[in-house]
Amino acid sequence: MGPLDGVRVIEIASLAPAPFGCMVLADLGADVLRVDRADRSGPRVGPRVGPPVDPLQRGRRSIGLNLKDPSGVDLLLRLIEGADVLVEGFRPGVAERLGFGPEECARRNPRLIFGRMTGWGQEGPLAPTAGHDIDYIGISGALAPIGRAGERPVPPLNLVGDFGGGGMLLAVGILAALVERERSGLGQVVDAAMVDGSALLTSFIYGMRATGTWRDERGSNMLDGGAPWYDTYETADGGYLAVGAIEPQFYAALLDGLGLADADLPAQLDPSGWPELRRRFAEVFATRDRDEWTEIFAGTDACVSPVLSMTEAIKHPHAVARKAFIDVGGVTQPAPAPRFGRSAAGHPAPPPRPGADTDSVLAGLGISADQVAGLRASGVVA
């Protein structure tokens, strides 16, 4: 089910961005086969004890291969011959050293899309070095604007580098390459780098800088908490409200809900008056509980919403109405997105245990049960 039904993806197990990109592909109907570690030199990637629960691993099958063994690499290449996409998240050059780089894979399957997910990209002075989300968005310029004025930058979880600028753009790149393959008949390499993707996410801000409507000073702009009408406010019960009343008509609705429509206030777009506006807004918001304010602004265009915990978000009436969260293997998690009118995605299967599908996958290659037993005994598969 789903628009990618029939697309076959091989995913070399890794962490965070590549699994997220492959989760998106699996959610949309692709048949994703995860290659987990079977070598005895280190821990397997993925859940180690108990039932697997990681949503990023849902909707897969799994085979255990020792890619440090030439026989394991040979099995991988045989799988690649019948695949549409391969995804790996090694540092540059590792796949080549193991024997399944893009050139070798193209010889086996010229139509293969070879997705590469890294932090720094395949070339450049930082390409061979280690890093994490916070490092990539630090270099790309995406981290510096996030935080309060006069304070240090605040890590936005790992949403900007790993997932938005990493796994999501990896999936977009793979989809674009699949479309292009319909014209050319050939596969190609998709070089997805989190440093590039997180920079791309700031395109709108670069446009504002070019028009003089954005300053590099953190916490002094319209969308970074500098403007009092685009910020969060604490309520009497210790909860918080998110306020995004940018347009004049929405700002007017905000003032009306706060009882400040006739108050003597600074002009909305005059930064010199923002400290006073913030003070007045904070005073009023602190007089009622979060849910009281939510009720007051319900049905209006003031662009005010409660700041919900992840537990609360699952139960919000809008999320419930849209079935935005689902149960997969006993774990509540976000449902597949986006939604399709005709080729709807199915309900994701729970994450497989590493290597759970090894025998059936190898049988599909024509390998007998005795041969599988021999490969397992020698540590090539698990």
User: How many whole angstroms separate alpha carbon 307 and alpha carbon 304?
Assistant: 10
Distance CA 65, CA 78 (A): 12
CA distance to 60, 181, 206, per residue, from 33 (Å): 6, 21, 39
Question: What gap in Å lies between CA 72 and CA 61, rounded to an integer?
Answer: 17
Please choose, from the candidates 170, 204, 235, the residue with its C-alpha nearest in 3D space to the C-alpha of residue 12: 170
Give long-range contacts, CB 8 A cutoff, 24+ apart: 362-371. 362/63, 362/75, 365/75, 365/78, 365/79
User: Where does residue 103 rank: exposed (0-12), middle (13-18), buried (19+ CB within 10 A)?
Assistant: exposed
Q: Catalytic pick from 54, 74, 132, 256?
A: 132
Beta-bridge partner residues of 190: 115
Active site residue 132: yes
The pairs formed by 267-273 with CB atoms below 8 angstroms and a separation of 24 or more are: 268/229, 271/220, 271/226
Residue at 79: amino acid letter: L
Q: What share of the chain is helix, strand, coil (3-state, %, to 5)?
A: 40, 15, 45
User: Catalytic pick from 31, 84, 162, 224?
Assistant: 162
Residue 33 and residue 53 in contact, taking contact as beta carbons nearer than 8 Å: no
The tokens for 319 are: 């999320």
Neighbours of 364 (CB within 10 A): 12
The count of residues in the chain is 382
Indicate the burial class of 299 (C-beta count within 10 angstroms; 0-12, 13-18, 19 or more).
Answer: exposed
Q: Is the peptide bond before 110 cis (omega within 30 degrees of 0)?
A: no
Catalytic residues: 132, 162
